[in-house]
A and B are shown apart, each in its own frame.
Chain A
Amino acid sequence: MLSAGAATSAPGRVLAADEAPNPWFDASYVVENWDTIVRYLDEHVRLTIGAVVLGALIALPLALLARRTRWLAGPVLGLSAAVYTIPSLAMFAFVFPFTGLSATTVLIGLVVYSLVILVRNFLTGLQSVPPDVREAARGMGYGPVRLFWQIDLPLALPAFMAGLRIATVSTVALVTVGVLVGHGGLGQLIFGGFNANFYRAAIVTGTVGCVLLALVADVLLAGVERLVTPWARVGA
């Protein structure tokens, strides 16, 4: 599309790399490297789904515990705010000495971040369930399991889904930092392009891929949200 050739080089210092065509987007690059792109995309999707699912599985008991034990809510939220402040580069670097240059390093870091988002949203959702409703259900003889499945879960579902959507979209963007340990999904394209004489087509393909993946994931989750909360549509 946009071709910025030799014009970008510093005056008086023309390198061979600057002379070569370096388009911002190149369809033939995408076609020729399709297998590589799909491999990275696959890794990206796996890491994202793994992180969000694991995060949700850990976050739900934590949120339930924090609601039940009131004094725990403050520390849980405070700690998660502190953890969320830690930059991703530092997070992956902390995990790296234990798990090495593997996808596990990236996954652990991603789970920690998604956990932080999910615990907050799950707890907000659970706390928004009116106490009278739970009281009434308990009075009607609902046990703790039925209370959770039939009262808490449906009422807190919008907040749960909002949390899942935020966690998924930000996880997609975060996976790219995994290039630090060589498992960054589409981030490999971005970083690879940077190292290969600033080859823009690779960088832009990786970036656009990430954004598209995030949008597709968000739309899919929005669809799931509509499916699992049919009552929300009645009024609209």
Chain B
Amino acid sequence: MNAFGEALVYLNDPLNWTRRGGILHLLVEHLTISAVAVLAALVVAVPVGIALGSAGRGRGVVVVLSNVSRAVPTLALLTLFAVSPIGFGARATTIALAVFAVPPILTNTYVGFRGVDADVREAARGMGLSRGQVIRRVEFPLALPLVMTGVRTAAVQVVATAALAALVAGGGLGRIVALGFGQQDYGQIIAGALLIAALALLTEVALVVLTWAVRPGPRRIPFPPRRRRPAEPAAAAMRV
């Protein structure tokens, strides 16, 4: 319990927040790396997911990708990119994180577009909508909740993995924990862990609210008391 007391002392020191390399500095670094990685993954995964899902092909590829990605240790990928010609630092970290964000977004986009009722698609075509219009105006709104689930999974995963990046000199809030281990400072370790956990939980909550805001149709409360159906294996999250 003593360590938790030290952690509170650390978190209550304004200098620890505002100095160069302090919590605010690392937080901005953490969020920048994470945001760039998620955006990059979106740019890659969403079009591919739409193409495969709306054509109804490539199921095997998506399943294999989502299963294999679970078996690859995040630490390994971060390290591999750091020792590749890219060199270690923010760029390697961002690329590694983006690679990790692709499978959940791709899988959920695929599942979402795959799940659009064939009759609805048929009706839209019958009303004279072109293929592009069907995707944009009909399939995308219907698939959006699942796509957003994928984005949420990916974003939380990226924020969590960005914490690991500090172990391979990548920056972000993980540095507080890594430095704490280096200095045998239990209070700082706990403080860093609290910050990282809080950031991951806040990311999750923020994206749940965002999903609720963009969901088409009648609004439901963002945190339903009971799940409508159990999580699908394809949409299951991966721990990092």
Contacts and interface: CB of A to CB of B under 8 A. Distances in A.
Given A172-B73, A214-B70, 12 more contacts: A86-B160, A87-B159, A87-B200, A89-B160, A89-B174, A90-B177, A93-B180, A94-B190, A173-B71, A191-B75, A207-B73, A207-B80
Contact of B75 (A8, A87, A97, A187): A187
Contacts of B83: 193-194, 198, 200, 203
Contact residues of B: prevailing secondary structure:
helix
Interface in B223-240: 223, 225-227, 230-231, 233, 236-240
A77 B73 contact: no
Given A4-B85, A97-B189, A89 B73 contact: no
Contact of A87 (B164, B186, B226, B236): B164
Interface in B154-185: 156, 159-161, 163-164, 166-168, 174, 177, 180-181
Interface residues of A, number: 54
B82 A198 contact: yes
A93 B82 contact: no
A41 to B, nearest CB: 14
A191 B160 contact: no
Given A203-B83, A210-B71, A93 B177 contact: yes
Interface residues of B, number: 54
Contacts of A82: 201, 204
A180 interface: yes
A127 B87 CA distance: 50
B156 A85 contact: yes
Nearest to A214: B71
24 contacts: A86-B160, A86-B197, A86-B200, A88-B164, A89-B166, A93-B190, A93-B192, A94-B190, A96-B189, A124-B231, A162-B233, A166-B70, A169-B67, A169-B70, A169-B71, A173-B73, A176-B74, A177-B75, A187-B76, A191-B79, A194-B168, A203-B76, A206-B76, A210-B72
Interface in A35-60: none
Contact residues of A: prevailing secondary structure:
helix
A179 interface: yes
Given A93-B192, A166-B233, A85 B201 contact: yes
Contacts of A85: 156, 160, 197, 200-201, 204
User: Which 3 pairs from chain A and chain B are nearest by CB?
Assistant: A87-B160, A214-B71, A93-B193
A74 B72 contact: no
A173 B72 contact: yes
Contact of B80 (A74, A91, A203): A203
A173 B189 CA distance: 23
Given A172-B71, A203-B76, A88 B160 contact: yes
Interface of A: 4, 7-8, 10, 73-74, 77-78, 82, 84-91, 93-94, 96-97, 113, 120, 124, 127, 162, 166, 169-170, 172-177, 179-180, 184, 187, 190-191, 193-194, 198, 200, 203-204, 206-207, 210-211, 214-215, 218
B72 A207 contact: yes
B3 interface: yes
B196 interface: yes
A176 B227 contact: no
A89 B194 contact: no
B71 to A, nearest CB: 4
Contacts of B159: 87
B239 A113 contact: yes
Contacts of B233: 162, 166
